[in-house]
Amino acid sequence: MATKTATPWGPATLVEELTVPQRSGDKRFASVVQLLEGAKGERLVRFAYSTDGTARRGPVTLRERDVERLVSGLAGCPQLAETLGLGAKEVAAGKN
């Protein structure tokens, strides 16, 4: 069964999700990028971070190496990459 989630525009279904593990000293957390689909088929992209497996809203901060991991991870999330305006060529170039 598809995962449903609430957004300011109404209910949506989780289509793809990319998690980028991060750490700062002893702290471990992750940034999460989700591709959601609204009731009318519109695509929504949600950025969040998680601590202890719990998604949190708020500012998401990525270091340069985290952005590299994000781009690399998009190879496994083609619909999310497309929605972000990154085709396979751009994602492949980002992995180098």
pLDDT digits (tens, 9 = 90+) for 33-89: 999 999 999 999 999 999 988 888 777 888 888 999 999 999 999 999 999 998 766
Dihedral sign for Cα atoms in the order 77, 82, 8, 37: negative
Which residues have CB under 8 Å from 18's CB, separation 6+?
32, 33, 34, 70, 73, 74, 76, 77, 80
pLDDT value at 94 more than 70: no
pLDDT value at 1 more than 90: no
Q: Could you tell me where the beta strands, DSSP code E, fall in the chain? A: 4-7, 10-24, 27-38, 43-51, 54-56
Query: Would you mind telling me the total number of residues written for the chain in this entry?
Result: 96
Tell the residue number behind the tokens 């190496």, with chain if given: 65
